[in-house]
């Protein structure tokens, strides 16, 4: 549990249902979300509006079945790990929202798992929101989280200029977490990311909700072109390597595709641990 969360929890217990948020920034991007504990501020409009739009939230068990962490699973080591990772990114971005690309060194390394759980971990914090964008066009997975698969997604946004950004962002049953699925894909979706529209989309998403962390569920690094473009669009990159799957050559190859200034590090996924021995 991060310091902020601990502080929030304690504040809630001591002084009633007070929300701790950052003071409104005078101009442009918001100041870091580092409010002092006990400092009474107004709930930001975005989050309150978001709360109104929340559909039925999924229970901890339902999330668990879907392979998504929940703050109540305090005994689960993975929860702890994702919280720490979130805190690390938070510190790195100095409290500002950021665009984080999560890409595996090759297919089957579990980048989608890491991306959605990182998004969920950001959404733990009631002062933050998270947006999960499925950028893995060849092997999409975010749509599984969205109850209605017929809803428009990224491809629809690119194909149809009349669709507004807000139309492709959908709730997934987790508080403060929204997702953009791939939508109905054309045969050759490769040119989406090179278009200026993609850059505009990312910028608008970033600017629209200042407390929102955008997590891009990226394609494998073996698809170097897409991975490189997406890494340029993002603030940070996390490279996912799975135990017993990723080879050193693949890691080497993946690391060569991204600039080291954006690289947050490697996420070593699926480390075997006996579940009852914690």
Q: Which residues bind other proteins (CB under 8 A)?
A: 61, 64-65, 67, 69, 76-78, 81-82, 84-85, 88, 113-114, 117, 238-239, 241, 243-249, 251-252, 255, 263-275
The least distance separating other proteins from the CB of residue 220, rounded to whole angstroms, comes to 15
Query: Considering all CA atoms of the chain, what is the largest pairwise distance in Å, rounded to the nearest integer?
Result: 56
Considering the complex, what minimum distance in angstroms separates the CB of residue 209 from other proteins?
24
Centroid of chain to Cα 261: 20
Contact, 211 vs 98, CB < 8 A?
no
Rounded Cα–Cα distance for residues 37 and 233 (Å): 34
Residue placing its CB nearer to other proteins in the complex, 30 or 117: 117
Q: How many CB atoms lie within 10 A of CB 27?
A: 5
User: Cβ–Cβ contacts within 10 Å for residue 75, how many?
Assistant: 9
Q: Which is nearer to other proteins, 46 or 80 (CB)?
A: 80
Residues 26, 45: Cα–Cα separation, whole Å: 15
CB of 104 to other proteins, least distance (A): 12
Nearer to other proteins, 84 or 203 (CB): 84
Q: Measured from the CB atom, is 122 or 209 closer to other proteins?
A: 122
Look at residues 219, 216, 224 and name the one whose alpha carbon lies nearest to residue 252: 224
Compare residues 8 and 237 and give the one whose CB is closer to other proteins. 237
- Indicate the helix (H) or strand (E) that contains 119: helix 111-124
Shortest distance in whole angstroms from residue 132 CB to other proteins: 17
**Rounded to the nearest whole angstrom, what is the least distance from the CB of residue 116 to other proteins in the complex?**
11
């Amino acid at each position: 549990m991060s310091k902020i969360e601990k502080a929030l929890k304690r504040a809630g217990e001591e002084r009633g249902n007070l929300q701790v948020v950052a003071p409104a920034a005078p101009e442009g991007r918001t100041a870091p979300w580092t409010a002092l504990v006990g400092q009474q501020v107004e709930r930001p409009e975005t989050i309150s509006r978001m709360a109104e739009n929340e559909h039925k939230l999924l229970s901890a068990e339902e999330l668990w079945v879907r392979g998504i962490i929940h703050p109540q699973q305090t005994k689960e080591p993975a929860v702890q790990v994702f919280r720490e990772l979130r805190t690390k990114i938070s510190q790195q971005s100095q409290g500002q929202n950021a665009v984080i690309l999560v890409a595996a060194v090759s297919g089957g390394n579990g980048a989608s798992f890491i991306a959605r759980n990182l998004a969920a971990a950001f959404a733990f914090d009631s002062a933050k929101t998270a947006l999960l964008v499925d950028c893995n066009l060849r092997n999409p997975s975010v749509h599984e989280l969205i109850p209605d698969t017929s809803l428009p997604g990224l491809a629809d946004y690119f194909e149809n200029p009349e669709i507004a950004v807000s139309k492709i962002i959908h709730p997934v049953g987790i508080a403060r977490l929204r997702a953009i699925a791939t939508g109905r894909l054309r045969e050759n979706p490769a040119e989406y990311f090179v278009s200026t529209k993609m850059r505009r989309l990312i910028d608008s998403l970033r600017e629209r909700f200042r407390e929102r962390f955008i997590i891009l569920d990226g394609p494998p690094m073996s698809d170097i072109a897409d991975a490189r473009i997406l890494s340029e669009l993002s603030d940070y990159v996390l490279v996912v390597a799975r135990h017993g799957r990723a080879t050193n050559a693949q890691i080497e190859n993946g690391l060569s595709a991204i600039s080291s200034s954006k690289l947050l590090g490697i996420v070593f996924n699926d480390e075997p641990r006996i579940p009852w021995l914690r």
